[in-house]
Amino acid sequence: MKRILLLATLLSSFVIPHSSFSAQPNVLFIISDDLNNYLGCYGDPRAKTPNIDKLAARGVRFERSYCTFPLCGPSRNSMLCGLYPNSTGILSNAQIFRQTIPSHISMSQAFRQAGYFAARIGKLYHYNVPKSIGTNGHDDPGSWELELNPAGVDRMEEEPKIFTLTPGQFGGTLSWYASPKDDGEHTDGLMARDAEWVLERCAKQKDRPFFLAVGFFRPHTPYVAPKVPYFGWYPEAEMPVHPTVDKNPPEVPAAALGSHKNEQDKLTDELRRQCVQAYYASISFMDAQVGRVVDSLDKNGLADNTIIVFTSDHGYHMGEHGLWQKMSLFEGSARVPMLIVAPGTKGKGTVVNTPVSHLDLYPTLTELAGIKAPANLQGQSLVPMLNDPNAVGRGWALTQVSRGGGKNRATVSRDKTSDGKRIFGYSLRTLRWRYTEWDEGNAGTELYDHDNDPSELVNLAAKPEHAKTVAELSAQVRAAAKATFPADGKTPELKEGPLWAPTLVDP
């Protein structure tokens, strides 16, 4: 009996699993749109996100992860190029880095060049939502071998039924709808189905590794999701309403609140509760689709050799500071969820506290896969943190945003104080502090102490007792901002003949 057991043990130790990690790992890259950290695994008290929470338990959850620019186009180009927006040259929506740095190798392109099958489903680079759903959006064809763009009832069919703060618009403005249709009829549900289709086929060709990118559209506006069950999980009466705040508090620079939009003044408490309910419902609906995709990975026997990434393109306000949506440098808008499940590393349900950036994904994934990355990437590899949650690395993250800049930059012309000139704000997040300079301090500075003020309600920048901290962080943020530019110090300019019609910008 003993000998049989020994033989069985020996045999099992010599059986090479069909997805041995000695092969190059696959990548399943999942990104959600306009999702903040309203997730169960990030401690949100209301969010029902069991599938994303399960991913956090399987891998590493980055507690302090930040985008480089809290707007879809600049953020996505930055993340997928591994370069800050000042080096991609993409500082607005509806543009693609091929117009500025055409020979740069994008993240999935690096995998393609290494022989991977790279596929995209939905939104990876910028899309106008909902108008580009079902199209390639402002995509980079060179990044993919296969592109799938399903469109569900949320595109066109249900648009006339959507409640919106600005009649006729629901892409850039707060808008929502509790749909009577079920998951499988909505765009994100169709995308999950398409991901299953791709994974089933990849499972039959295990000799060729894949990089599958799935870009869900929810919870981006319009917050359209099946009423049953998702809206029912968040009773309207129980939704939180942030207290109304002074629109121009004397201690906060005007530029910091420049993402406020006048139409948001129409929000009554009742509308705020409906808005928050619909946002949460859209998150839970998207979470269910994440679950379908990961289940498919598991069922097809691919999980042991597939790195899973889950993130969002930027954070999102739901009334904090009197702000809604994106384009601020406060924590709620700059912070993103980031989870990495990497077979072969030690992180299983661990939490990394040191600040990290979207920029770090590209060098992390290429290192894990043993693939050559461009020499000019500006992020750091997170592999040390995947093995040891106490590894510190760079120790900070930088987020920038702009204010003003004329009609052609509608999405960034929200600040009323900049006289049409485009100014930039840079915000440095360390473990304890958030320090922000607007126009190199000419349009204000902010200092928030996250040890004592996680909601960033008290700006300490002008307090004499914090002068030393301000001086240190000012030097640090300026050095970090300078390093966001390419070696020649100049932001790459858009080349002649834009690939995308500028009139299609949906603010």
User: What residues line the site for Ca ion (CB under 5 A)?
Assistant: 33-34, 72, 313
Which residue lies nearer to Ca ion by CB, 313 or 331?
Answer: 313
Nearer Cβ to Ca ion, position 126 or 181? 126
Angle between helices 50-58 and 269-299 (to 10 degrees): 50
Comparing CB distances to Ca ion, the nearer of 220 and 273 is: 220
Using alpha carbons, select from 12, 25, 64 the residue that is nearest to residue 433. 64
d(C-alpha 368, C-alpha 361), whole Å = 11
CA-closest candidate to residue 353, choices 382, 310, 326:
382
- State the minimum distance, in angstroms, from the CB of residue 499 to Ca ion: 20
Which one, 33 or 53, has the nearer CB to Ca ion? 33
Does residue 200 contact residue 296 with C-beta atoms inside 8 Å? Answer: yes
Helix (H), strand (E), coil (C) string for 125-143: CCCCCCCCCCCCCCCCHHH
Shortest Cβ distance from residue 417 to Ca ion (Å)? 25
Residue with tokens 């946002």, as numbered in its chain: 279
- HSE of 460, CA atoms in CB hemisphere, 13 A: 20
Structure tokens given for 384: 């040390």
Smallest distance, Ca ion to C-beta of residue 476, A? 28
C-beta closer to Ca ion: residue 285 or 396: 285
For 168, other C-beta atoms within 10 Å of its C-beta total 6
Nearer residue to Ca ion within complex by CB, 172 or 189: 172
Q: How far is the CB of 33 from Ca ion (least distance, A)?
A: 5
Min. distance of Cβ 175 from Ca ion in angstroms?
A: 15
Closest CB 314 distance from Ca ion, rounded Å: 6
Nearest distance, CB of residue 357 and Ca ion, angstroms: 16
Cβ neighbours for 212, distance < 8 A, ≥ 6 positions apart: 26, 27, 28, 29, 118, 119, 121, 195, 198, 199, 202
C-beta nearest to Ca ion: residue: 72
Rank residues 26 and 32 by Cβ distance to Ca ion and give the closer one.
Answer: 32
CB-nearer residue toward Ca ion: 95 or 469: 95
Between 72 and 342, CB nearer to Ca ion: 72
Which H or E run includes 277?
helix 269-299
| Residues facing 311 on adjacent strands | 31, 338
Other Cβ atoms closer than 10 A to 488: 7
HEC string of 163-187? EECCCCCCCCCCEEEEECCCHHHCH
Buried residues in 88-109 as b, exposed as e (16+ CB within 10 A): bbbbbbbbbbbbbbeebbbbbb
E strand or H helix that includes residue 436: strand 433-438
CB of 25 to Ca ion, least distance (A): 28
Rounded to a whole number of angstroms, the minimum distance from the CB of residue 313 to Ca ion is 4
Tell me the CA distances in angstroms from 444 to 203, 415, 447, 479, one per residue in order: 54, 13, 11, 18
- Identify which of 186, 261, 273, 262 has the alpha carbon closest to the alpha carbon of residue 224: 186
Q: Tell me how far, at minimum, the Cβ of 242 lies from Ca ion, in Å.
A: 21
Q: Are 272 and 241 in contact (CB under 8 A)?
A: yes
Tokens of 294: 């990961």
Nearest distance, CB of residue 345 and Ca ion, angstroms: 29
Nearer to Ca ion, 154 or 313 (CB): 313
End-to-end CA distance of the chain: 72
475: amino acid identity, one letter: A
Nearest approach in angstroms of CB 503 to Ca ion is 20
Name which of 326 and 434 has its Cβ closer to Ca ion.
326
Residue closer to Ca ion, measured from CB, 34 or 53: 34
In whole angstroms, what is the distance from residue 69 CA to residue 75 CA?
5
